[in-house]
Amino acid sequence: MSSSAPQDTGRHRLWSVDEHLADVLAAVRPLEPIELQLLDAQGCVLVEDVTVPVALPPFDNSSMDGYAVRTADVQGASEEFPAVLAVIGDVAAGSGELPTVGPGQAARIMTGAPLPPGAEAVVPVEWTDGGTGGGAASGMTPASAAPQGAAGEVRVHRAAEARAHVRSRGSDVQAGDLALAAGTVLGPPQIALLAAIGRGTVRVRPRPRVVVLSTGSELVQPGEALTAGTIYDSNSFALAAAARDAGAIAYRVGAVADDAETLRSTIEDQLIRADLLVTTGGVSVGAYDVVKEALTAAGSGDGDEPAGGGVDFRKLAMQPGKPQGFGTVGPDHTPLLALPGNPVSSYVSFELFVRPAIRTLMGLPESEVSRPGVRAVLKADEPLRSPAARRQFLRGKYDAEAGTVTPVGGSGSHLIAALAHADSLMVVPEDVTSVEPGAELEVILLG
């Protein structure tokens, strides 16, 4: 058993949302760091300070396609009185051997190419005749089509200050600088920096592998035909998507029939690829609530014993999401959250408990573990009604500009369409049974 139910409580006591969350989070630890290829590390938390091995840019280079010149040679140049320079060659990006630009000379240079010795500035091609002997050029002709562009003469129409259109070595970062500190979450810009400084791999906490398993003999996979009494399995899709959204690698296991032995063996099979298991359905008080049946059975999953037995089933003072299971299964004591089957209940439970567990496994700071909350004014025609002693989570549409939130659909745990049109959860505290229009309430943004 994972847990730490307060001493003064019996089996039938209601757990608060906060107690249950604290219990879940107390049982999950950040995953051990591993070395990953850059793209595989996207969204992960860096565990090492990364220092810059070589300055960026590594050399002075041109920010424009144009001509590398000596400033004295183009001083006072204008379209009427151009400076006429001898073109001594091309410097393309990637050029290793550079010509030296002497007095009265220019080298044709491309964006990103190293500034050749002797040159002090770059004049964009548009400020020259491009070597054509005509008016202002609009660009360069490809070298393959006009190799003569790398020789001959160029007329420069404007003066250039020293370092004009030159990106200096180290102007981005210097060798020895801290590129990224341990604890940084690697988004695309951070991955760009790591690549730019030549890192192929980085040490991060990996994405948790989350196995999502729905249960219920009534469930049919989308795309297949429904038969009498059956419905489509939406929870396993919703929760696998939510797990990915939280940062996990999600494995969706299609619906398992209501048979405790099948469920136990499916869970055992899945343990190999799970840092966290999530089930939906079968946690209530019905005769076919197999998750409860399978996982309440004796045995911790150690040795030859079946997986299961470490899961505690409890009731929470919340709506939706009252029945919940939490504990560990299998030889490695893999955490398992058993969520209720009603679609809205399972999704809300995921947001409140599974998402924080995933983000804790990822090693994210506490401030980024749960969804952000804001205060908003209720915009509705009638008051919200909420059961006493339950924290209620109603679906809403948040208007950031107006600072208001509007209910979407009712409180029914089966209202999937309303959930799909909502972007937030309106929170009605345990001691509040009615919220008047115009009153303020907490809103969790689903992002």
Which residues are near ligand MOO by CB under 6 A? 319-322, 340, 342, 345, 413
Cβ-based nearer residue to ligand LQZAQKY5, 406 or 411: 411
190 makes contact with ligand LQZAQKY5 (CB under 6 A): no
Using the rule CB under 6 A, give the single segment among 13-21, 340-348, 385-393, 427-435 that binds ligand LQZAQKY5: 340-348
Residue 343 partner contact from ligand LQZAQKY5, ligand MOO, none using kind-dependent CB cut-offs of 5 to 8 Å? ligand LQZAQKY5
Of residues 416-445, those binding ligand LQZAQKY5 (CB under 6 A): none
Residue 325 binding result from ligand MOO, ligand LQZAQKY5, none, given CB thresholds of 5 to 8 Å by partner type: none
Residue 20 binding ligand LQZAQKY5, by CB under 6 A: no
Q: How far is the CB of 391 from ligand MOO (least distance, A)?
A: 11
List helix spans (H) across 6-113: 17-26, 71-74
State how far the Cα of 190 lies from the Cα of 274, in Å rounded to an integer.
Answer: 28
Spatial distance between the Cα atoms of 99 and 74, rounded to a whole number of angstroms: 19
Whichever of 410 and 438 has its CB closer to ligand LQZAQKY5, that residue is 410
Cβ-Cβ contacts under 8 Å for 420 (sequence gap 6 or more): none
Closest to 428 in 3D by CA, of 397, 366, 383, 398: 383
Q: Of 93, 151, 231, 389, which one interacts with ligand LQZAQKY5 (CB under 6 A)?
A: 231
Q: Which is nearer to ligand LQZAQKY5, 113 or 425 (CB)?
A: 425
> Which of 234, 262, 265, 296: binder of ligand LQZAQKY5 (CB under 6 A)?
234
Residue 235 interacts with ligand LQZAQKY5 (CB under 6 A): yes or no? yes
Give the separation between CA 228 and CA 309, rounded to whole angstroms.
34
Query: Cα angle vertex 431, ends 425, 434, to 5°?
Result: 65
Nearest to 296 by CA among 338, 262, 332, 246: 338
Q: Specify the stretch interacting with ligand LQZAQKY5 by CB under 6 A; choose among 114-122, 204-212, 233-241, 271-279.
A: 233-241
40 binds ligand LQZAQKY5 (CB under 6 A): no
Residue 325 engages ligand LQZAQKY5 in binding (rule: CB under 6 A): no
Residue 39 found at the interface with ligand LQZAQKY5 (CB under 6 A): no
Measured in whole angstroms, the distance separating CA 19 from the mean position of its chain's CA atoms is: 27
Binding residues among 48-77 for ligand LQZAQKY5 as defined by CB under 6 A: none
Contact 338, 398 (CB under 8 A): no
Nearer to ligand LQZAQKY5, 23 or 289 (CB): 289
87-101 b/e with 16+ CB inside 10 Å = b? bbbbbeeebeebbeb
- Which burial class, exposed, middle or buried, applies to 29 when counting CB atoms under 10 A from its CB (0-12, 13-18, 19+)? exposed
CA 366 to chain centre: 16
Restricting to residues 204-223, name those near ligand LQZAQKY5 by CB under 6 A: 214, 216, 218-219
- Residue 47: Cβ-neighbour burial (10 angstroms; 0-12, 13-18, 19+): middle
82, 323, 363, 396: which one binds ligand LQZAQKY5 (CB under 6 A): 323
Contact 391, 353 (CB under 8 A): no
Contact 393, 319 (CB under 8 A): yes
Binding site for ligand LQZAQKY5 (CB under 6 A): 214, 216, 218-219, 231, 233-236, 280-286, 289, 320, 322-323, 340-343, 345, 413
